[in-house]
Each structure stands twice: as C-alpha cells, then as structure tokens.
Amino acid sequence: MNTEVHNAYEVIKEGGIILYPTDTVWGIGCDATNAEAVAKIYALKKREESKSMIVLMNGERMVYNVFKEIPEVAWQILDVSEKPTTLILDNPRNVAPNLIAEDHTLAVRIVKDSFCYKLMERMKKPLVSTSANLSGMFTPKTFSEISPEIINGVDYVVNLDRDKICKNPSTIIKLSLDHQVKIIRK
C-alpha cells in the first residue's frame, strides 16, 4: 500500500487526478486546494461545475482548517453513524473555489479507509472524491464496471482493491449554521 500512496501523492502534487478506492465506492480525486485539478475532474465527468463534489478529510484538524464554525450536532452525528456519512457544512475556506457550492457550502466526509487516510496524511490537504462515472450514469460497484473513458482519463489508477465490491455511497446530511438539518441521501 505504501507504494500506491507514494505514486498517488506524486501525481496529485503535480496537479494530476487519480482513480482510487474509498470507504464507499471507487472515486476520482485530486488535491482539494487545486482549482485546475478540480476543473479536470469536472471535464472528465462531463459534469456542470454547479454540481459540487465531496471532499474527504482525515480528521478533525483538517475539518477545522476548512470550516471555522462547525455545528456541535455534526460531531454527534459522526459519533453515532454506522456507515460512512457525508456532511454538508456552511462557509468553507482553504479549498479550491470551484468546489464550493452556490449556497456557499461544501460536502465533507472523514474517512476510515487506510489508503485514503495515509494519502491525505502525506498530502496534508483534503482530497476530492466523486464517483468514478460520467455525470448522470450509474455509480460503479466494482472496478470492472468503471468505463474505459474514466480509466483512460485520469493520470493514475491506484492498484488496490480492484476485486472488491463497493458499498453504497455515503449518507449525506446538510447541517446549516442556523440549526437546520436536512437528509439529502440515506
């Protein structure tokens, strides 16, 4: 795994995009602070930039670097969640502007997956994560279901867990600073 972390890191630090396994599904990712790399992912997926993407983080320190204010309920939800949970939070900073949604929010998930965790530990930055499909197409459950267009369109494909059947995408919950809670995806 260390070789894969190293290889992915080398591509990401040069502004490249990778195809990699996450704690949910296969994802396309890049440095979440690099707007040009983020734009490459939107172009590869043929996705409108108004549709935001999830950003993975490897712990509280990284979350607080991106959000000055985090509702207390966010930590409570994460403590009781039995499956990977993505939170949409208000007023992000220190990320590429083209990742921030029109309502000035950002979707984030703290990962438990060891590859993702170690990669971000090396990067010292959050990692973009969007499903490995063209916009509007089904989310692949296995590496073999990923379209050749996606595989050939990234700068590096991580050679881990290629035979794994992925779980469902994460639960998504929107938490506003004005105490509104909205479940986007169960």
Predicted pLDDT at 148: 96
- Tell me which residue of 22, 28, 30 sits closest to 45, measured CA to CA: 28
Is it the case that residue 168 has pLDDT exceeding 90?
A: no
Instruction: Outline where the chain has alpha helix (H).
Output: 2-13, 35-45, 60-66, 72-80, 114-123, 148-153
Q: How far is CA 91 from the centre of its chain?
A: 17
Q: Is 82's pLDDT higher than 90?
A: no
Query: Is there a contact between 157 and 19 (Cβ–Cβ < 8 Å)?
Result: yes
pLDDT tens for 48-73 read 877 889 999 999 999 999 999 999 89
Neighbours of 110 (CB within 10 A): 20
* Pick from 40, 46, 67: nearest CA to 126: 67
Q: Which two tokens stand for residue 76?
A: 């409570």
List the structure tokens of 70. 């985090």
**What number of residues does the chain have?**
186
pLDDT for position 158: 96
Reported as type and span, the H/E element at residue 107 is: strand 105-110
Q: What is the pTM of this model?
A: 0.94
pLDDT, one tens digit per residue, over 106-146 is: 999 999 889 999 999 999 999 999 999 998 898 888 899 99
